[in-house]
Structure 1
Amino acid sequence: MTANNTVKTAASSHTQGHDPRRGVGTAAMNRAILDHLHFTMARLPALASRNDWYMALSHAVRDRMLDDWLASLHHFRNKELKVVSYLSAEFLLGPHLGNNLINTGMWDAARDAVESLGLRLEDLLRQEEEPGLGNGGLGRLAACYLDSLATLRIPSIGYGIRYEFGIFDQLIRDGWQVETADKWLKFGNPWEICRSEIAYEVKMGGHTEYHHDADGRLAIVWLPVKVIKGVAYDTPIAGYRSRITGLLRLWKSEAVESFNFQAFNAGEYYHAVDEKVVSESITKVLYPNDEPGVGKLLRLAQQYFFVSCSLQDMIRVHLLRSPRLEEFDQTFAVQMNDTHPSLAVAELMRLLVDEHGLGWDAAWKVTRSTLAYTNHTLLPEALEKWPLQLFANLLPRHLEIVYEINRRFLDEVSRAYPGDQARLARMSLIEETGGKFVRMANLASVGSHAINGVAHLHTELLKETVLADFYQMTPEKFCNVTNGVTPRRWVLLSNPGLAWLISESIGEEWVTAPEKLRELECFASDPSFLSAWRGVKDANKRALAAAILERTGVAVDPESLFDIQVKRIHEYKRQHLNLLHILTLYHRIKRDPGAQIPPRTFIFGGKAAPGYFMAKLIIKLINSVAEVVNADPEVAGRLKVVFFPDFNVTNGQLIYPAADLSEQISTSGKEASGTGNMKFSLNGALTIGTLDGANVEIREEVGEENFFLFGLNATEVQALKKSGYHPGRFYEEDWELREAIDAVRSGLFSHGDAGLFQPLVDHLLYDDEYLALADYRSYLECQERVSTAFRQRELWSVKSVLNVARMGKFSSDRSIREYCEKIWKVPIRPPFPH
């Protein structure tokens, strides 16, 4: 089954006819592909590579998208429309071609046209290099939101960075993660359009000088040591059947003057291009390792660079509408996706006050009315803060602005809480304990009119913990918008068999009205429907098993329970707790070969940050356990362990639909929301998880009986830590836990090297910050309930159907509607006339 079973060609009246750039029939697409092969790629069909054909098809699809894009731009020129600007350091878009064919309704025509040329659409889809412009859930969420903004016909621009090298490609060598450059642009990018004329200068370093202008007003001049140019690269984002195409605008850094003729003429050939090399390094790589000082400096420079370009661009657009910058917030609603863009507070103030002459109070009113802040973490160490001296060296004018914002804000705090010096210290934009730092979460909170968490539990904990002082002072600012994912990519495209079965049963409206999925509940008692449901899952599992064999050499049984944990490798996400369960099952089978344990395939995937030693060690342990378990004849056919390398959007589209069990086992109170949990459940996997992040709401929606719950809740976690947590006690009192840990430190999984995993063992026994040992026994007991349920295949299928039927809340369309209503005050408008 293919996505075209659900997605029919939907051509509007103006796309009919013989215009080779607009026609969407098979013949028109065939002609367009051949034209682009000839005129764009300069290739003869007989000599064309698969990449040539992919590029030709992509350009043909883009032509048709641009027609809608220009119509959208014309529509959005209406001065009454407010534009949503989504500022994010990450946009993990995934491959464009398949998603664009789905959303524009051109899948059938493209497939037929490609086949008429003797090719297969599936092969061309696999050819696309995935843009590695994000690290994980944050960037994928931003991509889902762009899809929903366009689908809901909301004027919007996503602003970010055009990283030349994205998140690294992950190889596994001898069980260790090895990072290689993600050269996603090596064959070109047919979806982007370089806007060389849309470019802005960005200052860095230097110092400021004060003087009085002709009217006697104090004026501040920033004299930088470096000026970099940001050039816009635009990517169209197709809405689903909306006839609206949104915009992602990414910035590339360039030298203001790329070539120094004076240096060249003096014989200094290498120095002639120094400025170009240094300037372009700003957008060279996603998230440089910020352990060394130079990495911190580059990361701060990246954040300021894209924020400055984006705000300058918005001001340009606003001035085309109105000469009054006091009305800027009526043109744009700006959402800061986490703390990475929080420099927008200081930069917008600088632009309004220094560059455009607004008074401080007027500028502050505009800034706070325009900006809103989404918090994505409860981990204090993940709330960005920059060493004061580094900040001062790179952004001297912004530090002055931060100081002034802080002075005025702390005066407000003092009036509200007289004499509370501890509160002043906590809420200050400048941290002064253990060195001086600029606190970016505090800056974002002070400079925004709205602050939101991304799951109900996360928002409540945000109010009680990391932003408690801000909530107590301005509770009206806080709200919750639970994350969501787009069903277009994560079901229609990635799971076409399931999409077809759903649409055959309840119609196609669920794609944009996911609450309609509830209608599936009545099919949960239909044996023939359940049989078809299992058939879809079995086909997806066979496809994943084939990919696992091809990429890892491990043969897995598609009939076994596919127990999957794919996400960024981090101790709070507790991949090592999953491993402890595997080791316990391994030892149980070794002791009793007749133990009633249903066959399981444990599949891990995810990347560890290059500088995160413990996460890399966890990857090594997963692979080392796999090496031993998979080769042991006594557990053959019972347990398999796989690490699927280079987890990304492309691989996620293969993995999520194949899962039986979704591992969402982070320590309660640590995960902000999660979106992988939503993708798994939306594709029919059952969840084993803690009451953490959006797990809480997923369990409420799908029903307690259709969710495997274990572990301490957030209140219990805090109470245990407060009373004094001693992980060694759990080790001593639980013999199976002791057996598992002792096996790791014995050298059994490291060819006799008892020291290899000792850092991980010591961390568990003497620290265990994320309470893996405290939750171990509860997790094991819950996994036994999973095994019991999986043996009852009919009951498992019923639970799977009910999971999908009750996941409508977790569409990104619902999330965007809530942002529009609660924060942006942007109406969701009907489509414009064709």
Structure 2
Amino acid sequence: MFSNKESFKSAFLEKLETMYGKSFKDSALRDQYNTLGHMVREYISSRWIATNEKNRTENNKQMYYLSIEFLLGRLLGSNLLNLGILDVCREGLDELGINLDELEENEADAGLGNGGLGRLAACFLDSLASLDLPGHGCGIRYKHGLFDQKIVDGYQVELPEQWLRHGNVWELRRHDQAVEVGFWGQIEASTANGRLEFRHTKAETIMAVPYDIPVVGYETNTVNTLRLWNAEPVPFPPNNKNVLVYKRETEAVSEFLYPDDTHDEGKILRLKQQYFLVSASLQNIIRLHRERNGSLRNLHEKVAIHINDTHPVLAIPELMRILLDEEKMDWDEAWNITVHTISYTNHTTLSEALEKWPTHIFQPLLPRIFMIVEEINERFCRELWNKYTYDWKRIEDMAIIAHGLVKMAHLAIVGSHSVNGVAHIHTEILKQREMHLFHEFYPEKFNNKTNGITHRRWLLKANPQLSKLLCETIGTEWIENPAKLQALSHYKQDAAFQEKFYEVKQFRKELLAKRIEEQTGIRIDTHSLFDVQVKRLHAYKRQLLNVLHIMYLYNRLKEDSSFTIQPRTFIFGAKASPGYYYAKKIIKLINELAEKVNHDPQTNAFLKVIFLENYRVSLAEEIFPAADVSEQISTASKEASGTGNMKFMMNGALTVGTLDGANVEIREEVGAENIFIFGLTAEEVSNYYQNGGYRSADYYHHDWRIKKAVDQLVNGFFPDAGDEFEAIYDSLLIQNDEYFVLRDFAPYIDVQEKIGRAYQNRNYWLDMSISNVAQSGFFTSDRTISQYAKGIWNINPVQVVR
């Protein structure tokens, strides 16, 4: 069907007419997109079936990756690329008068994630399939995802993200494999054969219906599965509950990603989502294992279950429940199987992100699960007592349940055989600080797996112009083995190659400039330095430091006619959580600053500020290839890893950053001469937190640049803002600047001046930029997944033959 463009065109036209009962000339772009999507999915089907059959018949060990987020982006282009039919389809469509890029615009970004956590999960799925590893994703099929962001008068406005409005061509509903998940109710105890047994009665059950999405490996026959669970009512409402109330509460479980948990109602819904995910997934995993093995006694030898952050940690007590209550195992055997089956990745050093659930919510909602968690806690505390007798403080600090809270990170560590961080510095902080007591108790459990990104999407697909140049210069081996990109270092000072590299970057800058003008009406200079910060809006990521620097530059340009700078376009993209008041003020500040700077004839030849609304994967694919500078300026020790830093690097942007997260390893790979590092170290930040001594007011009073910019937040500099930015002003001075923005301000200005000078030396800049691409192969998710496969999951490649 896809052997050449003629057979493709014929099949395409026939499929379109069959699906829609209309001729090609009467079809719309959406009809054409759906036609191509269905053709590709059918093309995938034989490989998908063969992969599942291979796993079933050979009974190879399988890995299941449980994550509350999977930020997939658009799948049409990546599937065509991975299947090796991109060029045939593009050429065939061209001859029919269809632009493939325009066709892709009809695909919504799947609303299944928020940021780095979900995008990492998506990259991991791609690498698993591309490396022929038997690994599958388990998530929730959110109806609305997070939200669509609109900027209205500078404010973030959240609209429902209706990514399923036109359906999802890639998913396959598997109603025959639906399972029931129960909440609330009571636990009845009885004795049978001298054994105490428990039964969950009067539970409020809901149906979990799976929707499967094929995960296509790159130029391989392996097609793994991402299974997403949809919450639906059972045919008859349990416990005679009002039908409409029951239907509404049930559908809410898979309606929104991260419902607002400010109040108990939202906390209950979040906890429901988490149990819904793990219970449905484990029931499915157990069913498949039984079909292949009969007994669950070898579960840990045939199955690895990985929990991505703390959201799926209830997999631990849920697996215990199945083994204890359904398999009638004794505790020790069930616990041994559970611990050896489950592994855990920690993604944060922020204590507020380590989930804790109030027992007054947890216990009634999940009564049997709570009993099991209590028993796990009791036995764990007994172990601690045996080792640390009378050390009440240590036992209290390590307990899973304490002070009316269930501590999910503690449960994750105790109930798994592996705990990994996602960058070297992050793992060391976990071991030495955040989870120091657990590392002392379980030193063998802790390990590092530095994050990675799939180069197939973030270079090969997102930047075909650079990919083509690389293939022409160093061959194609880097596509299979990204470490081969190092060969590019031989060309970093080659004048002819530099010129071609520069032309590619300019072409991508022009494409992004066109997008910016279409979206904002602002025309930008494509020869200006594109300085980009795109990521979640959070105080520790310090978008505010970037903003204050722009305000400083604007002030200098206004006051000193002799002051000039390398023209810069500052580009932001970020969503703030709906309830995160402070972050939303930063978005407003960025947009107020953009309004002032962009329309000032005295400065706008040197400065432009752009805020691109609704930052998402498909927009990121346009931004990363166009960037000159990558802003990775979080407070040292706060960013676990970052993956945007890797995507920028792979596309030739130079990093300005603190020694935080994977920035540390980027510097090790590219060398200190090819990255711009500034600011406090993680150790210095830790010393400030532990010993005090930081007074933000000192920096405010002793640096006129800081004082002027900070005062402008409240002195009428933004004439229409009123007291809009008082909260930001107070955070810096009254609340003593928790994330050391003012402390790092002067070093940040210094390093930015260094960047400006470097950019003006074109050959020098291109040398650095090419060096970054050449050394980026280490940060492929293929490397990360290979390390997980060998070091944690113990799974091996399985060759699928059709």
What's the CA shift for 1:117?
2.3
Q: Does 1:70 align with 2:39?
A: no
Q: 1:688 aligns with which of 643, 656, 670?
A: 656
Give the match for residue 5 of structure 1: none
What's the CA shift for 1:394?
0.7
Question: Are the structure 2 counterparts of residues 288 and 538 from structure 1 closer, same or farther at C-alpha, using a change threshold of 3 Å?
Answer: same
Give the match for residue 162 of structure 2: 183
In 1, the alpha carbon distance for the partners of 2:341 and 2:181 equals 21
Matching residue's letter, 1:803: N
Unaligned ranges ≥5, structure 1 = 1-19, 264-270
Answer whether contact 1:512 1:813 (CA < 8 A) is retained: no
Q: Does 1:773 align with 2:742?
A: yes
The alignment partner of 2:712 has SS state of helix
- In the TM superposition, 1:293-332 aligns within 5 A as 293-332=264-303
In 2, the alpha carbon distance for the partners of 1:67 and 1:27 equals 22
Q: Does 1:123 align with 2:102?
A: yes
In 2, the alpha carbon distance for the partners of 1:714 and 1:108 equals 47
Q: Please identify runs of 4+ aligned residues in structure 1 that moved more than 4 A.
A: 258-263, 271-274
More displaced 10-residue stretch of structure 1: 215-224 or 518-527: 215-224
Answer whether contact 2:139 2:228 (CA < 8 A) is retained: yes
Give CA-to-partner distance per residue, 1:130-164, whole Å, 9 cap, x none: 10100000000000000000000001110000001
The alignment partner of 2:297 has SS state of helix
In 1, the alpha carbon distance for the partners of 2:785 and 2:529 equals 35
Q: Does 1:349 align with 2:349?
A: no
What's the CA shift for 1:401?
0.3
In 2, the alpha carbon distance for the partners of 1:788 and 1:487 equals 31
Q: Does 1:255 align with 2:223?
A: no
Q: Does 1:239 align with 2:217?
A: yes
Answer whether contact 1:431 1:437 (CA < 8 A) is retained: yes
Question: Are the structure 2 counterparts of residues 48 and 681 from structure 1 closer, same or farther at C-alpha, using a change threshold of 3 Å?
Answer: same
Matching residue's letter, 1:597: I
Give the match for residue 11 of structure 2: 32
In 1, the alpha carbon distance for the partners of 2:254 and 2:55 equals 30
What's the CA shift for 1:38?
2.6
More displaced 10-residue stretch of structure 1: 31-40 or 56-65: 31-40
Answer whether contact 1:208 1:221 (CA < 8 A) is retained: yes
Q: 1:114 aligns with which of 93, 102, 108?
A: 93
The alignment partner of 1:67 has SS state of helix
In 2, the alpha carbon distance for the partners of 1:28 and 1:465 equals 61
Give CA-to-partner distance per residue, 1:454-479, whole Å, 9 cap, x none: 00000000011221111000100000
Give CA-to-partner distance per residue, 1:181-204, whole Å, 9 cap, x none: 110001111100000101111010
In 2, the alpha carbon distance for the partners of 1:243 and 1:592 equals 63
The alignment partner of 1:645 has SS state of coil
In 2, the alpha carbon distance for the partners of 1:221 and 1:752 equals 60
Give CA-to-partner distance per residue, 1:154-178, whole Å, 9 cap, x none: 0111000000111200000000000
- In the TM superposition, 1:246-395 aligns within 5 A as 246-257=224-235, 272-395=243-366
Give the match for residue 786 of structure 2: 817
In 2, the alpha carbon distance for the partners of 1:443 and 1:750 equals 51
Q: How many residues align?
A: 800
Answer whether contact 2:349 2:639 (CA < 8 A) is retained: yes
What's the CA shift for 1:247?
0.6
Give CA-to-partner distance per residue, 1:319-354, whole Å, 9 cap, x none: 011122110111211110000000001100011111
Question: Are the structure 2 counterparts of residues 537 and 311 from structure 1 closer, same or farther at C-alpha, using a change threshold of 3 Å?
Answer: same
Give the match for residue 745 of structure 1: 714
In 1, the alpha carbon distance for the partners of 2:129 and 2:235 equals 37
Give the match for residue 521 of structure 2: 553
In 2, the alpha carbon distance for the partners of 1:565 and 1:743 equals 22
Give the match for residue 15 of structure 1: none
Give the match for residue 679 of structure 1: 647
Q: Does 1:165 align with 2:144?
A: yes
- In the TM superposition, 1:484-495 aligns within 5 A as 484-495=452-463
What's the CA shift for 1:273?
4.7
Give CA-to-partner distance per residue, 1:414-471, whole Å, 9 cap, x none: 1121211111011101121xxx110000000100000000000000000112211110
Answer whether contact 2:462 2:625 (CA < 8 A) is retained: yes
Answer whether contact 2:134 2:795 (CA < 8 A) is retained: no
Give the match for residue 704 of structure 2: 735
What's the CA shift for 1:752?
6.0
Give the match for residue 404 of structure 1: 375
Question: Are the structure 2 counterparts of residues 221 and 716 from structure 1 closer, same or farther at C-alpha, using a change threshold of 3 Å?
Answer: same
The alignment partner of 1:127 has SS state of coil
Answer whether contact 2:381 2:395 (CA < 8 A) is retained: yes
Answer whether contact 1:537 1:658 (CA < 8 A) is retained: yes
Answer whether contact 2:202 2:239 (CA < 8 A) is retained: no
- In the TM superposition, 1:199-218 aligns within 5 A as 199-213=178-192, 215-218=193-196
Give the match for residue 530 of structure 2: 562
Identical aligned residues as a percent: 47
The alignment partner of 1:745 has SS state of coil
What's the CA shift for 1:632?
1.0
- In the TM superposition, 1:713-724 aligns within 5 A as 713-721=681-689, 722-724=691-693
What's the CA shift for 1:112?
2.1
Matching residue's letter, 2:664: V
Give the match for residue 105 of structure 1: 84
Q: 1:791 aligns with which of 745, 748, 760?
A: 760
Q: 1:194 aligns with which of 148, 160, 173?
A: 173
Question: Are the structure 2 counterparts of residues 588 and 474 from structure 1 closer, same or farther at C-alpha, using a change threshold of 3 Å?
Answer: same
Give the match for residue 147 of structure 1: 126
In 2, the alpha carbon distance for the partners of 1:30 and 1:777 equals 60
Q: Does 1:230 align with 2:208?
A: yes
What's the CA shift for 1:628?
0.7
Give the match for residue 440 of structure 2: 472
In 2, the alpha carbon distance for the partners of 1:554 and 1:667 equals 31
In 1, the alpha carbon distance for the partners of 2:288 and 2:182 equals 21
In 2, the alpha carbon distance for the partners of 1:750 and 1:663 equals 29
Answer whether contact 1:484 1:812 (CA < 8 A) is retained: yes
Answer whether contact 1:257 1:275 (CA < 8 A) is retained: no
TM-score, normalised via structure 2 length: 0.98
In 2, the alpha carbon distance for the partners of 1:35 and 1:329 equals 48
The alignment partner of 2:210 has SS state of strand
In 2, the alpha carbon distance for the partners of 1:220 and 1:733 equals 67
Give the match for residue 413 of structure 1: 384
In 1, the alpha carbon distance for the partners of 2:459 and 2:32 equals 26
Give the match for residue 268 of structure 1: none
Give the match for residue 26 of structure 2: 47
What's the CA shift for 1:594?
2.6
In 1, the alpha carbon distance for the partners of 2:392 and 2:238 equals 54
Matching residue's letter, 1:486: T
Give CA-to-partner distance per residue, 1:468-526, whole Å, 9 cap, x none: 11100010000000000000100111101000001111111211201000000001121
Give CA-to-partner distance per residue, 1:739-794, whole Å, 9 cap, x none: 111112112124261x1101110111122111111111111111011011011011
What's the CA shift for 1:109?
1.4
In 1, the alpha carbon distance for the partners of 2:770 and 2:577 equals 36
In 2, the alpha carbon distance for the partners of 1:454 and 1:316 equals 32
Matching residue's letter, 2:549: H
TM-score, normalised via structure 1 length: 0.94
Give CA-to-partner distance per residue, 1:185-234, whole Å, 9 cap, x none: 01111100000101111010012110112x23211011144101101100
Q: 2:600 aligns with which of 606, 620, 632?
A: 632
